[in-house]
Structure 1
């Protein structure tokens, strides 16, 4: 495995660590470890809702907290391999129920990294969303 693939996979692992952090202190720590200080997160709007288009650790943590509130008892999981080149990587994910293993929400994200492998930008795409979510 090349150093670049390791770099992308490590960045994505930190990304999921942040998305799955439940406690506010752990969330703040994992977001800071995954994103640059001015990192951004952009996602399409859920049905009837505003899109996420935020910058900075606190705003990113707030988006993650809102997702946990909307989908309690769910965890984000990598779905497939991480692919990348230069400072850009892409991957797919699922939001999985810890109770029954169902995955009603799925998407794909494209991230750009800084020289240290921290996320500068996330551009999210929703591939599967239940009605009314």
Structure 2
């Protein structure tokens, strides 16, 4: 089961690194329920359209320049339709993590994300 959860975390993180808005939109549709909610300490996002905006803004701010990218830490765990995993924003040139955090995600019955709580450590 852990391998599947780590694969899920890797797919989720790949979304945040995706340069093509159309492919980001497709990934959001494949990962998130239509009325999914995404929470950070600073904002709330509701539904796929707002998710597209949120992910696009994060991509432009952190990844687009080529300096940073995100990667999942292969430590995903879960139970009762929930998943928790760590991630890192790393410097592409050095591979060193500049920011770390974790997401706690709940899934609907079909395996799509219902809620996503993102924490930055």
Query: Could you tell me the TM-score, scaled by structure 1's length?
Result: 0.80
1:102 shift after superposition: 2.4
Distance 1:17 1:56 in 2: 19
Is this contact kept in 2: 1:14–1:33, CA < 8 A?
A: no
Q: Which residue pairs with 1:61 in the alignment?
A: 52
Unaligned 5+ segments in structure 1 are 45-50, 128-133
Count matched residues: 118
Does 19-28 or 6-15 show the bigger shift?
6-15
Query: Could you tell me the TM-score, scaled by structure 2's length?
Result: 0.87
Q: Which residue pairs with 2:62 in the alignment?
A: 71
CA RMSD of aligned residues (A): 1.6
**4+ long deviations beyond 6 Å:** none
Distance 2:96 2:7 in 1: 26
